[in-house]
Amino acid sequence: MKQFFATCPKGLEYLLRDELMSLGGVDVHEALAGVRFSGSLETAYRACLWSRLASRILLPVAEFEAASDEALYAGVQTIDWSEHLAPHATLAVDANTAQSKLTHSQYLAQRVKDAVVDQFRQRGQARPDVDTEEPDVRINLRLRRDRATVSIDLAGAPLHRRGWRETQGEAPLKENLAAAMLLRAGWPAIYEQGGALLDPMCGSGTILIEGALMAADVAPGLRRDYYGFLGWKQHDIALWRNLLEEAGRRAEIGLPMLRSGFFGSDADSRMVQMAKRNAQEAGVAGFFTLDRHDAQHVRPPAGFTQGLVITNPPYGERLGERESLPKLYRGLGETLRDHFTGWRAAVLAGDAELGRATTLRAEKKYALYNGALETVLLIFELHPRDETPREKPPLSPGAQMLKNRLEKNVRHLHKRLEREGIHAWRAYDQDLPEYAAAIDVYADTSGSSHLHIQEYRAPADVPAELARTRLREIARVAGEVFNAPRARTAIKTRERGKGGSKYGQFDQRGEFIEVEEGGLTFLVNLYDYLDTGLFLDHRLVRAKVRELAAGKRFLNLFAYTATASVYAAAGGARDTTSVDLSGTYLEWASRNLALNGFAGEGHRLVQADASSFLERTRERYGLIYVDPPTFSNSKRAEDFDVQRDHVKLLLACAQRLTHDGVILFSNNFRRFSLDREALEPQLAIEAWGAGSIPFDFSRRANIHDCWLLRPQAAEDAANPWANARIKK
């Protein structure tokens, strides 16, 4: 069993994880822009041949510290390269680096190459040559925080290069991103139901060709004639031939069974011809109908009453292009709404604003990256305008009581929410004991309401079926009151599992919405995690951060998605440092900061354990925000328990404060007791729990507690009575 790493564009991690599991990968875990998995060499070969989403398949061969040029060279030389590379073979090295002392990727690649070549020379063997195009072995170096991972690139060249593309436009869509769009839009199921695939801005035909090969069960890598393992010394030729033969047999069966249901058009006749040539090279041209049309004049093809309209419109990256795009998107939306009733549509918009220009309401949204550009995939169900909704059964007496309570809460809070500009709030928190849940409302920047429903565990004497019925009633009633369809409602429920109560399996959508708070904008994910990225009960705590941050250096420990750092920056902090152990949350934090215009060296993101960071840093901060979890047992840091460890943590923070600095300490452990006796010799403590609870959380006023802590010396200096006592 070997360990592998599959790279992919950001936003495709969850899809790739599922795909690799279907290809035989085990112990599969998503990471930032990739997925780790284990398996045999056959598993890796299958991934190279069959993955529609991966960019590369890497086989790590060594991992070591490399804080200097010498350490990197020495680490590479510890690898026995004769096990991978023949003396007369060719090699190439790719390198990338981040948050490390060694910052020049091209120089790093050169040093890795030198270490490999020198090893052969030292053994009296011939020196391998460099071939940057199709080397026998391609070596990959990844340097993160001074730690190097050296891998064999089994793909050799990016896997999105399928081998059929003869020509392409100026900004071609990569094949693996096209495959992700099709999978997110549910194309395989639509094809099985007899639906057509239509791209009204088809460009060079990438989406249509990927859709056809997917439907025909053709391996995406079948037409490639180069892989990085073909010249690798451990290559199993017989195994690879068997896999190719199997893929060939599947294609021979699948292609003749493919239906003629693929339609494309483009306003540019040159692109239409380009798409035709690519379809011919891919072996699917006979199933395609390609014409010259602009998107507003496209219509459903004869003989098809359902299908998927999917397209990648222009984004307007060039100066002056952006102004014309809303009209294009609006025209596309009108065409879809007026002529494609009963179809599904998927549009990869350059941003949410362009997506809104379609005037269609998206059922689902997914963040995807087209190269370095963040885009949003919008999925629409195209219902008739006059569609009469299915009559629902009457509400039970209990559900009617719940609806009455929700409507009462809305009436009670509505004016204040509007007056204070609050778009994300708690609407209900177990107000009725029978309906034990919390309901949070998130209005995105387009004004659409999304619901986040968290069910509390039912008592043991409540039958499981009754609990499920009540949860369905909660979802239905909340959806009616807040005009939020099921597609915009996230439900999280506790289930009995090993070790006691735990939350059940979450969705893995990679779907984000933008929510405004305090004049700032934050990314919220309602589905994939226990929390959404924005702690609503800490709204006033974040406002306090903004109030205290002016002119100060700000440190955010256990930073999560760095919402507090955004508030500090908005409040005039000199700089911000956000520390969290999770790379996923730091990526999210980076997007939150950038979304509000805060980026660059003044806003550091540090992946580290909070205690370790405090021990290591020598910086001083005027404001430190500490909002730790109740407990943590991460494998990458020592176990943490907020009750047991808070004194040590806060005293370590005190060592990093300026003389007039402030620690803002908060936590959600409801049985927490602050150890004043241990802290007060160094810190003056101001309890601020009641003042930090927002009005919409008044039913659960113990949801968190909060304190302001200042150095005793500074507190005494500001208090003449304290000085008098000292002199006395």
Whose tokens are 């790590």? That residue is 60
Banded pLDDT at 722 (limits 50, 70, 90): very low
Whose tokens are 């002119």? That residue is 551
> What is the average per-residue pLDDT within 367-378?
89
Q: How far apart are CA 95 and CA 117, in angstroms?
A: 17
Indicate the domain borders of the chain: 2-153, 175-216+258-381, 397-503, 535-724
Q: Which residues pair with 5 in a beta bridge?
A: 36, 58
Strands (E), 172-320: 196-199, 262-266, 288-292, 307-311
Looking at residue 500, its pLDDT comes to: 37
Q: Which of 51, 228, 89, 224 is nearest to 157 (CA)?
A: 228
Q: What is the DSSP letter of 297?
A: G
Percent of the chain residues past pLDDT 90, beyond the cut: 79
Residue 317: count other Cβ atoms within 10 Å of its Cβ.
10
Q: Is residue 322 exposed (0-12), middle (13-18) or buried (19+ Cβ within 10 Å)? A: middle
- The rounded radius of gyration (Å) of the Cα atoms in the chain is 29
Rounded to the nearest 5°, which phi and psi values hold at 430?
55, 40
Q: What is the pLDDT of residues 418-429, one digit of tens each?
A: 999 999 999 999
> What is the average per-residue pLDDT within 174-179?
96
Banded pLDDT at 317 (limits 50, 70, 90): low
Q: Which of 327, 226, 223, 307 is nearest to 264 (CA)?
A: 307
Given a cut of 80, is residue 338 above it in pLDDT? yes
- H/E stretch holding 21: helix 13-22
Question: CATH assignment of 175-216+258-381?
Answer: 3.40.50.150
Q: How far apart are CA 356 and CA 378, in angstroms?
A: 10
- Is residue 494 within 8 A of residue 504, CB to CB? The reply is yes
> What is the average per-residue pLDDT within 441-448?
91
Looking at residue 728, its pLDDT comes to: 28
Q: What is the DSSP letter of 287?
A: G
User: Of how many residues is the chain composed?
Assistant: 728
Q: Report strand pairing: 449-455 vs 489-497.
A: parallel
Banded pLDDT at 34 (limits 50, 70, 90): very high
Burial pattern 363-397, b for ≥16 Cβ within 10 A else e, equals: bbbbbbebeeebbbbbbbebeeeeeeeeeeeeeee
In whole angstroms, what separates CA 501 from the centre of its chain? 27
Q: How far apart are CA 666 and CA 69, in angstroms?
A: 43
Banded pLDDT at 360 (limits 50, 70, 90): very high
Residue type, 16: L
Q: What is the pLDDT of residues 587-631, one digit of tens each?
A: 999 999 999 999 889 999 999 999 999 999 999 999 999 999 998
Residue type, 482: F
- Is residue 66 within 8 A of residue 75, CB to CB? The reply is yes
- Residue 473 gets the label, from left (phi > 0), alpha (psi -120 to 50) or beta, of alpha
- Which two tokens mark 367? 């963040």
- Is residue 405 within 8 A of residue 432, CB to CB? The reply is yes
First to last CA, the chain: 74
Q: How far apart are CA 174 and CA 104, in angstroms?
A: 27
- Is residue 427 within 8 A of residue 410, CB to CB? The reply is yes
Looking at residue 646, its pLDDT comes to: 97
Percent of the chain residues past pLDDT 70, beyond the cut: 93
Among 50-64, 239-253, 293-307, 489-503, the range scoring the smallest mean pLDDT is 489-503
- Does CATH place domain 535-724 in 3.40.50.150? yes
Sorted by sequence, the CB contacts under 8 Å of residue 159 that are 6+ apart come out as 48, 51, 54, 55, 56, 57, 176, 220, 221
Looking at residue 316, its pLDDT comes to: 67
> What is the average per-residue pLDDT within 206-221?
97
Burial pattern 541-567, b for ≥16 Cβ within 10 A else e, equals: bbbbbbebbeebbbbbbbbbbbbbbbb
Given a cut of 70, is residue 322 above it in pLDDT? no
Given a cut of 80, is residue 167 above it in pLDDT? no
Domain 397-503: homologous superfamily in CATH: RNA methyltransferase domain (HRMD) like (3.30.750.80)
- Is residue 548 within 8 A of residue 660, CB to CB? The reply is no
- H/E stretch holding 528: none
User: What fold is seen in the domain 2-153?
Assistant: VC0802-like (3.30.2130)
Q: What does the angle CA 510 – CA 513 – CA 516 come to, to the nearest 5 degrees?
A: 145
Given a cut of 70, is residue 386 above it in pLDDT? no
Fold match, 175-216+258-381 / 535-724: yes
Half-sphere exposure of 45 (CA within 13 A, CB side): 20
Banded pLDDT at 384 (limits 50, 70, 90): confident
- Which two tokens mark 557? 């420990």
Q: How far apart are CA 216 and CA 490, in angstroms?
A: 34
> What is the average per-residue pLDDT within 20-29?
95
Q: What is the pLDDT of residues 530-578, one digit of tens each?
A: 899 999 999 999 999 999 999 999 999 999 999 999 999 999 999 999 9
Given a cut of 80, is residue 298 above it in pLDDT? yes
Q: Which residues pair with 4 in a beta bridge?
A: 37
Annotate 352-408 with DSSP letters as a single string: HHHHHTT-PPPSEEEEEEETTEEEEEEEEE---TTPPPPPPPPPPHHHHHHHHHHHH
Given a cut of 80, is residue 584 above it in pLDDT? yes
Whose tokens are 């031939």? That residue is 241
Q: How far is CA 106 from CA 112, 435, 465, 528, in A?
A: 10, 60, 61, 37
In whole angstroms, what separates CA 290 from the centre of its chain? 35
Given a cut of 90, is residue 717 above it in pLDDT? no
What's the predicted TM-score (pTM) here? 0.62
Residue bearing the bigger pLDDT, 210 or 87: 210
Q: How far apart are CA 253 and CA 268, in angstroms?
A: 35
> What is the average per-residue pLDDT within 701-717?
84
Q: What is the pLDDT of residues 500-523, one digit of tens each?
A: 334 444 555 677 899 999 999 999
Residue type, 358: T
- Is residue 213 within 8 A of residue 179, CB to CB? The reply is no
Q: Which of 21, 49, 50, 24 is nearest to 35 (CA)?
A: 21
Q: How far apart are CA 648 and CA 528, in angstroms?
A: 33
Given a cut of 50, is residue 723 above it in pLDDT? no
